[in-house]
Structure 1
């Protein structure tokens, strides 16, 4: 049984996430479990997530779920916008709620850091090349 679609293509926050994520080397998008997922060989970010609070599912529809490195993860979970998502949280993933005021520089840093954790050394090397 397919998962229901849990996003709106007209979402302006999703449009910003897409623009930044898909600018990374070889990045692509697919729908996974009803949500946009950004990947190369492995997923480096999801748009939207949820967690269970007191037995009830709490949705975070305007968020990104990323996999920061260990040192950054500890700082990120202290951010009041952060949450540990269901299923992926135990593997080190962190969700961050977004809105129209979220800074594009911060958004790009979160996505790039997660990309660096999953993309492989050749893609990361391309990321580090100076622009032509």
Structure 2
């Protein structure tokens, strides 16, 4: 099996901040997959597409009820591969990312796959 080439550098824009936000969620972990940092808590809830990717972005899984509204935002696009499963991506180069917005997108994505105990721990914070 051939390993995927690394599609980011540790000094990538916004990686440190996104990593801090994602890993602050209960039982969250970072796993490199497809050459990208992915964030998981039982299930994957975020994928960072770094500076060596086609597009510097953050993929997340939105709530179904929010998906259409998010698609109206010019910073949001349907990513290849995961887009077929309802994921969206935030282009990190269109404008300076709002870290509070990123935290909300990641938390909503996290909640879709987290176990009840994880959601309880998140709500108790």
TM norm. shorter chain > 0.5:
yes
Is structure 2 residue 84 aligned with structure 1 residue 83?
no
1:106 counterpart residue number: 101
Task: For residue 45 of structure 2, give the secondary structure of its aligned residue in structure 1.
Answer: strand
| Larger strand share, 1 or 2 | 1
1:122 counterpart residue number: 117
* 1:32-88 superposed Cα distances (whole Å, 9 cap, x missing partner): 101000001111000018xxxxxxxx811x211000110111111111011111111
Shift of the alpha carbon at 1:12?
A: 3.4
Is structure 2 residue 71 aligned with structure 1 residue 71?
no
Among residues 90, 95, 98, which one is paired with 2:89 in the alignment?
A: 95
How does the TM-score come out when normalised to structure 1?
Answer: 0.86
Shift of the alpha carbon at 1:101?
A: 2.0
Post-superposition, which runs of at least 4 consecutive aligned residues in structure 1 deviate over 3 A?
none
Higher alpha-carbon deviation: 120-129 or 18-27 = 120-129
- 2:97 & 2:81 partners in 1: Cα distance? 25
Please tell me the root mean square deviation across aligned C-alpha atoms, in Å: 1.6
Is structure 2 residue 21 aligned with structure 1 residue 27?
no
Is structure 2 residue 3 aligned with structure 1 residue 8?
no
